[in-house]
């Protein structure tokens, strides 16, 4: 089997999600947006897909590396592109991930198997936590500690068995403010009661002292973990923080360097619980290597972000991450209606608070190809 075509299809859709000047998502007025589907095609008609791609980089850099290759040589292709990233800076880990995911999807579709079973399944559902959007200034949204408390009550009623708060960050004029974060965390603890797992993912640029203050307060409130409170390029700061706190410190999420950075964090004890995700690290191929690193060192790993790539990887980990991150959620937004290019949700929440992986071949996304074709812009 050989790859004979690499196609990108950009199409428009409507969304009520907006991004602020620092890239955090929030509800917003309905607006036009575009999405890009990557399609990898083989000479025997097998295809693999991934959303979130980019035409220029895929056609200019990735396509020449893929044409003529056997799509089952995922490791060879991944290594090739990984080394190209040094000179081709526009080939980000995120785009590398779309290629890797499309290849996994292709393999699954060609073999008639879901990806988690090709990887070697360990389970078919993962406990979800509700991951809120960052704080805002919308009345009745996530503007006050009481708003977080009210929303936490709603989420608990919806069946979630754990909640992670993202609190207030710039460009909100008065943020960041660790004391305000603690107020929100305390209000949510009061709302859900003792023993219910709660986590905090706060402003990502606090100082060591601010982070220690937050961590100590979260310990008093019985929180499960504190995530990314400081710049992750200062590994020493995380070594320092993990030594100061009883509460587990989770990271690195955004630091580049894939497996190598995560290996350093494990060796240096910079985090108690390691973090990785398909779009942060370049796909399922590197994420599974990170999972195996964690397993070998006896370190728990929690996967960043929702989506079928992360879900399949989670269902194939030997030392499983405990949770699937479902979100980002906001009281004004509906998460239960699938994106218009999918016929069904890729991460439905079951009655026990778990997300079940699809048994369809590949990554299991039920893609509405008619929608993509009818809304195509390039
Ligand atoms: O700062 C943000 O917007 C969020 O923290 C976001 O990056 C989110 O994806 C996250 O960190 N989840 O764990
Ligand atoms: Mg995070």
pLDDT tens figures, 230-258: 999 999 999 999 999 999 999 999 999 99
The helix or strand, by DSSP H or E, that contains position 104, with its residue range, turns out to be: helix 93-111
Please indicate whether residue 326, judged by its CB atom, sits closer than 6 Å to ligand 1.
no
Write the CB contacts of 281 (distance below 8 Å, at least 6 apart in sequence): 93, 97, 258, 259, 262, 287, 290
Please indicate whether residue 304, judged by its CB atom, sits closer than 6 Å to ligand 1.
yes
CB atoms within 10 A of CB 47: 17
Do residues 212 and 182 lie in contact, with contact meaning Cβ atoms separated by under 8 Å? no
Output the residue whose Cα is nearest ligand 1's atom 1. 24
The helix or strand, by DSSP H or E, that contains position 48, with its residue range, turns out to be: strand 47-51
Output the residue whose Cα is nearest ligand 1's atom 11. 201
**Does the pLDDT of residue 201 top 90, yes or no?**
yes
- Which is the closest atom of ligand 1 to the Cα of 166? 5
**Does the pLDDT of residue 81 top 90, yes or no?**
yes
- Which is the closest atom of ligand 1 to the Cα of 304? 13
pLDDT, the chain, mean:
98
Do residues 24 and 228 lie in contact, with contact meaning Cβ atoms separated by under 8 Å? no
DSSP string, 126-147: EEEEEEEPPP---TTSSSSHHH
**Ligand 2: distance of its center to the CA of 269 in Å?**
19
**Does the pLDDT of residue 68 top 90, yes or no?**
yes
- For range 288-314, the mean pLDDT: 98
- Which is the closest atom of ligand 1 to the Cα of 164? 13
Do residues 270 and 242 lie in contact, with contact meaning Cβ atoms separated by under 8 Å? yes
Please indicate whether residue 253, judged by its CB atom, sits closer than 6 Å to ligand 1.
yes
**Ligand 2: distance of its center to the CA of 178 in Å?**
17
- For range 90-97, the mean pLDDT: 98
The secondary structure of residue 14, as a DSSP letter, is E
Indicate yes or no: pTM above 0.95.
Answer: yes
**Distance between the two ends of the chain, CA-based, in angstroms?**
28
**Ligand 2: distance of its center to the CA of 165 in Å?**
10
| Helix, strand, coil in percent for the chain, rounding step 5 | 35, 25, 40
């Amino acid at each position: 089997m050989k790859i004979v075509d690499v196609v990108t299809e950009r199409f428009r859709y409507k969304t009520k999600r907006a991004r602020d000047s620092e890239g955090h998502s929030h509800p917003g007025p309905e607006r036009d947006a575009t999405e890009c589907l990557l399609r990898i095609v083989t000479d025997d008609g097998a295809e693999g897909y991934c959303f979130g791609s980019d035409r220029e980089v895929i056609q200019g850099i990735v396509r020449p590396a893929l044409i003529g290759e056997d799509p089952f040589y995922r490791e060879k292709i991944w290594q090739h592109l990984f080394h190209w990233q040094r000179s081709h800076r526009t080939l980000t880990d995120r785009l590398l991930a779309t290629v890797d995911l499309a290849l996994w999807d292709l393999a699954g579709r060609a073999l008639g198997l879901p990806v988690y079973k090709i990887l070697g399944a360990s389970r078919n559902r993962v406990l979800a936590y509700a991951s809120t959007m960052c704080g805002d200034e919308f009345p009745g949204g996530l503007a006050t500690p009481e708003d977080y408390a009210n929303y936490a009550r709603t989420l608990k009623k919806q069946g979630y068995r754990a909640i992670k708060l993202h609190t207030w960050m710039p460009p909100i004029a008065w943020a960041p403010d660790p004391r305000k974060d603690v107020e929100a965390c305390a209000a949510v603890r009061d709302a859900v009661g003792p023993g219910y797992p709660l986590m905090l993912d706060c402003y990502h640029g606090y100082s060591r002292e601010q982070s220690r203050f937050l961590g100590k307060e979260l310990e008093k409130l019985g929180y499960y973990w504190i995530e990314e409170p400081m710049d992750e390029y200062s590994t020493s700061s995380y070594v320092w923080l993990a030594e100061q706190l009883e509460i587990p410190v989770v990271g690195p999420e955004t630091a580049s360097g894939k497996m190598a950075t995560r290996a350093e964090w494990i060796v240096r004890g910079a985090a108690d619980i390691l973090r990785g995700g398909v779009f942060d690290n370049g796909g399922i191929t590197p994420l599974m290597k990170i999972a195996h690193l964690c397993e070998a060192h006896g370190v728990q790993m929690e996967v960043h972000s929702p989506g079928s790539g992360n879900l399949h990887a989670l269902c194939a980990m030997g030392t499983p991450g405990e949770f699937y991150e479902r979100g980002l959620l906001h009281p004004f937004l509906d998460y239960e209606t699938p994106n218009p290019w999918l016929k069904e949700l890729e991460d439905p929440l079951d009655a026990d608070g778990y997300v079940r992986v699809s048994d369809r071949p590949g990554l299991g996304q039920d893609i509405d190809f008619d929608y993509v074709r009818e809304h195509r812009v390039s």
